[in-house]
Amino acid sequence: MSDDKQPTPKERSQQLALERRAARLAAVQALYQWEQTGTRPEAIISEFGTHRLGKNAEEPGLPAPDRKLFAELVRGVSAGVEELDDMLSAVLTEDWTIERLESILRAIMRCGAFELAHRQDVPPKVVISEYLAVADAFFSEKETGMTNAVLDKLAQTLRPGGLEKADKGAGRGGKAAG
């Protein structure tokens, strides 16, 4: 008999969730770089793939990111940035504009908006919870709370009833307001 223990389905599911969280964190960093430098998204995806993905010095507890999700987020957000900014602007308060947000916070919210709008396979509470975790990696409670409020309001607009349905499930929402 081999000493190699196969992961249980629950352990594998948890591992996949961590890989997706690492992909979201890396995508936010890549989109920050894209906004700051104007480098083509494909070049950034390639650079991250060669030099950064799987080398989590900032977040040593995370596994190598899900490269497919990482690339989908970078491509999707960069290609649809105007649409995403319009969606976010519609739910931001009057005294906050998309341009007023810090670049990294803008990248977090754009990624969350992209997933809410284009990833129907991911429940809204999971999207919100995941981007709250990313916001926590960079900001204090104030910005994390703002991220929660904006993504929650956007989820209610894009997926009416989606948050309530998730409440009846296994409670995977974390900090998201229901």
Cα separation of 131 and 148, whole Å? Answer: 8
Three-state DSSP class for residue 155: helix
| Residues 6 or more apart in contact with residue 45 via CB below 8 angstroms | 30, 70, 71, 74, 75
Confidence of residue 7 (pLDDT cuts 50, 70, 90): confident
pLDDT of amino acid 42: 96
Residue 168 has pLDDT above 90, yes or no: no
pLDDT, average across residues 59-70 = 81
Confidence of residue 176 (pLDDT cuts 50, 70, 90): very low
pLDDT of amino acid 46: 92
Burial class from Cβ neighbours inside 10 Å (0-12, 13-18, 19+) for residue 83 reads middle
Cα separation of 150 and 19, whole Å? Answer: 25
Confidence of residue 43 (pLDDT cuts 50, 70, 90): very high
Residue 52 has pLDDT above 80, yes or no: no
Residue 108 has pLDDT above 70, yes or no: yes
Number of CB atoms found within 10 A of residue 12's CB: 11
pLDDT of amino acid 138: 93
How far from chain centre, in Å, is Cα 102?
16
Buried b (16+ CB within 10 A) or exposed e, 15-53: eeebbbbbbbbbbbbbbbbbbeeeeebeebbeebeeebb
Helix (H) or strand (E) holding 166: helix 162-167
Confidence of residue 170 (pLDDT cuts 50, 70, 90): very low
